Structure formats: C-alpha cells, structure tokens
A and B are shown apart, each in its own frame.
Chain A
C-alpha cells in the first residue's frame, strides 16, 4: 500500500525566512512521482513542484525546492524568502504504478507567514 505522511499540522514562519515542510512516503514502487500542491483559502489546488523517483537532482521552481532523500523516503518542500501570500495549506502527493496510477495525498500542513 502507498502512504503519504505529513507530520506538521501547522507551522509558523517569519516573512522573508525559509521554511521546510516535511513529507515522508511509503511505497513498494521503483518508479513514482512526488508532487507538492498549495491550497489557499479559496480552495483551488495549485501545483508547485514535481520530483521523479529516478531524478538525481532535487527539483527547483523559483522559491520552491524539493529536498528528495530517496533512501529515507522523504520529499520535503523548502520555501525560501517566505511571503505573506504563502500562507496556505500545503499537500504532498505521490503517484505510483502500484497504486494503479492513483494520486494519494497527505493530510497537509497549514503554513502561517507572520509579518
């Protein structure tokens, strides 16, 4: 079975500082994809970043980077230079062949950025 665990229900960060949101996963697949999404209070899920299981380099997209540690099965999201608009719910997700290509999501981490 596949599982995503996000152990931080809520986190606070000061504006302009960096923050790391934790994500660990469990899968028997050799090939899988890892995704992070942001969900503001409006409800829409916004894609942030993708990491493939065979990608040797950590993915980066602007202020977002993914700290991928395959042996530890972790895929932490790092947001640099936090902005007030980063306050939202963040979801880690995985898509694998063992799960029939279903995407499963973690419980999410609510991030609060303080001015």
Chain B
C-alpha cells in the first residue's frame, strides 16, 4: 500500500508570494492533518480535514488555509508569504477522525521563503 505523498518536496518562494502544497493520503484514509515544523516552535498543528470538512484549526493566521477533496486529497495554501513561514510542512493521514487512529506522515514539503 502506498504511503502518504506530498508534493512538491522542496519549494523556494519570495516574500509576498503565495504557495499551494498538496497531500495525497493513504488509500482509504479519510482524515488529513497538516503540521508546521520549525526549529524554534517545533511541531505545530495547522488544521485537520475529514470527509471534506475542516474539523479543527490551529492557532495560525488566516493566511493559512486548506481544503480537502472528495478523493481525500488535501491542499494547503499560504498567501502573502513571510520569512517566518519557512518550515517543513508535514501532512498526515488516518482512517478516521478518532482518538485511537494512528496518523501516518508523508515526507514533508520543505518551504524556504527568501
């Protein structure tokens, strides 16, 4: 079974631009979560989608948005990029949106904002 895939793997943007990251979950998984990882802040929860509905959102500004499609693939968008948005963005999928379901992570997208 194929794992979680994320595209692109690496991205370089300049301040003020916008970016869209993509995540394809494991086949059959309906829940997708996004995380931002930086050396200073560690792993921070961005949002979670289940069956095309946003179930949870972390403490990030409105510049960060996401969506999930009917095939469970998810995208996140960051508008008006800032230098502080440079990070590893990780996507994770799980079967359902429950306490016991294990989240499986993709390889991440490393975003650099210049």
Contacts and interface: CB of A to CB of B under 8 A. Distances in A.
Interface residues of B, number: 24
Interface of B: 33, 35, 42-43, 45, 48, 55-56, 58, 88, 90, 92, 97-100, 102-108, 110
Contacts, number: 55
B108 A33 contact: no
**Among B88, B102, B106: residue with most chain A CB under 10 A:** B102
Contacts of B43: 91, 105
A33 B55 contact: no
Contact of A101 (B42, B55, B110): B55
Contacts of A100: 55-56
Nearest to B110: A43
B99 A35 contact: no
